């Protein structure tokens, strides 16, 4: 049993988690670190990187933080080169950085649509392309793209996000198809509704003691009858980053409490 469980260890592995100063990326990075990985992360501004470094230090993790805009191909190539020189070749990439703009489609400008697609789809392409050559040379690699339930479902006001995350699902499958023969596994994680500081107002008890309407909606759609926690993503991330998943490729693991399996409660 001990030998088998070692397949989940990440000792000696170097992980780059994009946009991981806080939130889901930070939770995933903490889990990878607990399994033995060395953590590198980026954010778009130095102040965010500094806050992230403080968060990691508080968690007892020695992380390497870098300023980088993941939409800038030259900057990403420089980042990967710097990490290889300062820390080592990247074994695990988690494409976590992303944005959402909740705007009705007919009110959304093409520029706003392009910005979401640029961050949520083009950037994972750029970063994956930057790390794959060294993974090929090393003989292995793990790429985890943070997809979404919107990789499968539509919803009002998220046309750009759904388009980008649907595209990211197919990019995941295509990286697996193109580079699986080099012992590179590319999979996705699709989080459900996760309790974060940003969603806290949607979960506040109302003055009359009732749940917020959106909170009621999510619980009615979720067989687990709760919001997810960022820590719920740690186990799936460690699995997909480890040797335990060496024959899992092109798969999207939805961590959603069962939402995608469920039609919802009858009114």
What are 133-143's pLDDT values in tens digits? 999 999 999 99
CA distance 134 to 239: 22
Reported confidence tier of residue 77, pLDDT bands at 50, 70, 90: very high
- H-state helical runs in the chain: 2-5, 23-34, 46-58, 73-86, 110-117, 123-138, 159-179, 213-221, 234-241
Assign residue 255 a region (left: φ > 0; alpha: ψ between -120 and 50; beta: otherwise): beta
> Residues 141-175: pLDDT tens digits?
999 999 999 999 999 999 999 999 999 999 999 99
Catalytic residue among 161, 179, 193, 254: 161
| Encoded tokens for 172 | 């995941």
pLDDT per residue as tens digits for the range 189-223: 999 999 988 788 889 999 999 999 999 999 999 99
161 is catalytic: yes
pLDDT, mean of residues 112-118: 98
């Amino acid at each position: 049993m001990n030998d088998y469980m070692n397949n989940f260890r990440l000792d000696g592995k170097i992980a780059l988690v994009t946009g991981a100063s806080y939130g889901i990326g930070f939770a995933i990075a903490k889990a990878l670190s607990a399994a033995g990985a060395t953590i590198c992360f980026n954010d778009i501004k130095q102040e965010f990187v500094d806050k992230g470094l403080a968060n990691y230090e508080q968690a007892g993790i020695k992380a390497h933080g870098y300023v980088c805009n993941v939409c800038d191909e030259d900057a990403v190539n420089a980042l990967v080169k710097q990490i290889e020189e300062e820390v080592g070749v990247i074994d695990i990439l988690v494409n976590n950085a992303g944005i959402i703009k909740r705007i009705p489609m007919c009110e959304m400008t093409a520029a706003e649509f392009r910005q979401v697609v640029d961050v949520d789809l083009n950037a994972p392409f750029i970063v994956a392309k930057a790390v794959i050559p060294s993974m090929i040379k090393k003989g292995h690699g793990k790429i985890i793209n943070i997809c979404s339930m919107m990789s499968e479902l539509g919803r009002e006001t998220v046309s750009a996000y759904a388009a980008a995350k649907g595209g990211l699902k197919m990019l995941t499958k295509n990286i697996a198809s193109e580079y699986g023969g080099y012992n590179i596994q590319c999979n996705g994680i699709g989080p459900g509704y996760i309790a974060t500081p940003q969603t806290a107002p949607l979960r506040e008890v109302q003055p009359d003691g009732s749940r917020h309407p959106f909170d009621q909606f999510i619980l009615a759609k979720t067989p687990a009858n709760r919001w997810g926690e960022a820590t719920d993503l740690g186990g799936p991330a460690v699995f997909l980053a480890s040797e335990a998943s060496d024959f899992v490729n092109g798969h999207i693991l939805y961590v959603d409490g069962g939402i995608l399996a469920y039609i919802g409660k009858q009114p």
